[in-house]
A = this chain, B = another copy of it.
Amino acid sequence: MRKVAVIGVGQSRFGELWDRSFRDIMLEAGVEALEDAGLEGKEIDALFVGNMSAGRYIAQEHVATLIADYAGLAELNIPSVRVEAADASGGLAVRMAHLAVASGMHDIVIAAGVEKVTDAGELSMEIMSSSADMEWEGFVGATLSAIYAMMTKLHMKEFGTTEEDLAMVSVKNHRNAVNNPKAQFKSEISVDAVLNSPYVAEPLKLLDCAPISDGAACVVLASEEVAKQYTDTPVYIKSSAQASDYLALHSRKDLTTMQSVVTASRQAYKQAGVEARDIDVAELHDSFTIAEIMAYEDLGFIEKGKGAELIREGIVEMGGEIPVNPSGGLKACGHAVGATGVRQVAELVLQLRGGAGKRQVECETALALNIGGTGGTAVVTILGR
- Listed in ascending order, the chain A residues whose CB lies under 8 Å from chain B are 1, 21, 23, 52-53, 55-56, 58-62, 64-66, 68-69, 73-74, 77-86, 92, 96, 99-100, 102-105, 127, 130-135, 138, 241-248, 251, 259-260, 263, 372-373, 376-377
Chain B positions within 8 Å of A243 at CB level: 77-79
Residue of B53, B65, B263 near A244 (CB, 8 A) is: B65
CB-CB under 8 A for A74 and B245, given A1-B103, A55-B53, A377-B65: yes
CB-CB under 8 A for A74 and B246, given A53-B61, A65-B85, A105-B103: yes
Chain B positions within 8 Å of A73 at CB level: 244
CB-CB under 8 A for A65 and B99, given A55-B53, A83-B83: no
CB-CB under 8 A for A134 and B53, given A65-B377, A84-B82, A376-B69: no
Q: Is the CB of A83 within 8 A of B85?
A: no
Residue in chain B with minimal CB distance to A22: B135
Chain B positions within 8 Å of A66 at CB level: 133, 247, 376
CB-CB under 8 A for A263 and B96, given A52-B61, A102-B103, A134-B59: no
Residue of B62, B241, B373 near A376 (CB, 8 A) is: B62
Task: Give Cα A127 to B74, complex, Å.
Answer: 23
Q: Is the CB of B377 within 8 A of A69?
A: no
Residue of B52, B62, B96, B134 near A96 (CB, 8 A) is: B96
CB-CB under 8 A for A80 and B69, given A62-B377, A99-B103, A244-B74: no
Task: Give Cα A115 to B229, complex, Å.
Answer: 44
Task: Give Cα A248 to B69, complex, Å.
Answer: 9
Task: Give Cα A80 to B377, complex, Å.
Answer: 8
Task: Give Cα A373 to B64, complex, Å.
Answer: 13
Residue of B56, B138, B263, B372 near A65 (CB, 8 A) is: B372
Task: Give Cα A80 to B378, complex, Å.
Answer: 10
9 A-B pairs within 8 Å (CB atoms) are namely A21-B135, A61-B130, A62-B85, A62-B131, A65-B376, A66-B376, A69-B376, A77-B260, A99-B100
Q: Is the CB of A131 within 8 A of B247?
A: no
Chain B positions within 8 Å of A104 at CB level: 1, 103
Chain B positions within 8 Å of A92 at CB level: 81
Chain B positions within 8 Å of A102 at CB level: 103
Shortest Cβ distance from residue A298 to the other chain B in the assembled complex, whole angstroms:
12
Q: Is the CB of B82 within 8 A of A85?
A: yes
Q: Is the CB of B244 within 8 A of A79?
A: yes
Residue of B81, B133, B245 near A83 (CB, 8 A) is: B81
Q: Is the CB of B131 within 8 A of A61?
A: yes
Shortest Cβ distance from residue A103 to the other chain B in the assembled complex, whole angstroms:
3
Q: Is the CB of A68 within 8 A of B99?
A: no
Chain B positions within 8 Å of A81 at CB level: 83, 85, 92, 96, 242
Task: Give Cα A80 to B84, complex, Å.
Answer: 10
Residue of B83, B99, B100, B242 near A82 (CB, 8 A) is: B83
Residue in chain B with minimal CB distance to A103: B103
Task: Give Cα A251 to B70, complex, Å.
Answer: 11
Q: Is the CB of A55 within 8 A of B58?
A: no
Residue in chain B with minimal CB distance to A246: B74
Chain B positions within 8 Å of A242 at CB level: 79, 81
Chain B positions within 8 Å of A138 at CB level: 59-60
Chain B positions within 8 Å of A131 at CB level: 61-62
Given A53-B55, A65-B85, A78-B244, 4 other A-B residues pairs in contact with their CB atoms under 8 A? A52-B61, A55-B130, A62-B373, A69-B245
Task: Give Cα A42 to B52, complex, Å.
Answer: 28
Task: Give Cα A99 to B376, complex, Å.
Answer: 23
CB-CB under 8 A for A244 and B80, given A100-B99, A131-B62: yes
